[in-house]
Amino acid sequence: MKVTAEKNDKVAQMTFASIYPHYVRKVGKKGRTKEELHQVISWLTGFDEGQLQDLIQEKATFETFFQKATLHPNAHLIKGVICGYRIEDIEFDLYRNVRYLDKLVDELAKGRAMEKILREEKK
Tell me the β-bridge partners of 15.
Answer: 61
| Residue 67 confidence (pLDDT) above 80 | yes
Query: What is the predicted pLDDT for the residue at 70?
Result: 97
| CA-wise closest residue to 79 among 100, 52, 93 | 100
Instruction: Look up the pTM and report it.
Output: 0.93
Distance CA 104, CA 100 (A): 6
Q: pLDDT-derived band of residue 121, with 50, 70 and 90 as boundaries?
A: low
H/E stretch holding 85: strand 85-86
